[in-house]
Amino acid sequence: MSYMWSVFLSSLFAYHVVLDPGHGGIDTGAYYYGLKESKITLNIASDLKELLKKNPEIKVSMTRYKDQKLSLKERADRAHAKEAQIFISIHTNSSPDRRAHGAEIYFENQLGADEESLFLAYREENQEFNKNLVGRPSKFRGKYPNTVATILDDLAKSKYQASSYQLAQTIQNRWLEEKKMRVRLRQAPFFVISSINMPSVLVEVGFLSHEREAKALKTRKYQKKIAQILYKSILDWKEQWTNNRSSL
């Protein structure tokens, strides 16, 4: 098989990743030390996109490519339109406690979310000014009787919750290996991860409210380092996904 034909086939059956740079436009997100969350997340997502584009087995899309405001529903709709395999939303964190630091990786809550996670989810979604958030769209209603569709939707939800947790673990493991710094797995009902029909995580790459982390997050070198970690995490996850498919 020729090289060009191999590249064509790889791109045709590519693994599709959707990146979601948090916030944008008038919604700057966290703002500390003159730094805007929306700008940092766009830089990291753009760096990650360029890394992914070099891999012929991966397609990559972003919910936004510039400093623009999108509703949470628009972000979810854009991910669904791409029929992607995974969705990664990129954010920076903040806290009234200036000692809070480290990365946090959120996946859809399977158990009751703790109060801190619920507050963070409420704050993020309140900043987005969304009034009509309706949750994960059904893939089966209209194709099957309502009772059957409900059962299939519940099974799909369980599958996405489990795979999102596994994706979060994969990113955590790579993060610990590459940076050897604090990174926690958390559960929270963020709309952009609880309304997506694919494995979905929200990654808080550091606290802008923490002076030392903010100083690092300001630099392009550190932003590119985070993009590298996420890139390797996606490759780790894709390998698992490929192995699971081949074992069926």
Domain of residue 225, CATH code: 3.40.630.40
In this predicted model, which residue has the larger pLDDT, 172 or 127? Answer: 172
In a domain, 1, yes or no: no
In a domain, 169, yes or no: yes
In a domain, 184, yes or no: yes
Band of pLDDT at residue 7, cut at 50, 70 and 90? very low
Per the confidence metrics, is the pTM higher than 0.85? no
Q: Are 194 and 136 in contact (CB under 8 A)?
A: yes
In a domain, 126, yes or no: yes
In a domain, 6, yes or no: no
In a domain, 51, yes or no: yes
Distance CA 136, CA 120 (A): 20
How many Cα atoms sit within 13 Å of 11 on the Cβ side? 9
Distance CA 20, CA 70 (A): 10
Helix 220-246 × helix 37-53 angle, to 10°: 50
Q: Which domain holds residue 87?
A: 14-246
Total number of domains constituting the chain: 1
How confident is the model over 182-236, as pLDDT tens digits? 899 998 888 888 888 889 999 999 999 999 999 999 999 999 999 999 999 999 9
What does the block give as tokens for 100? Answer: 């809070």
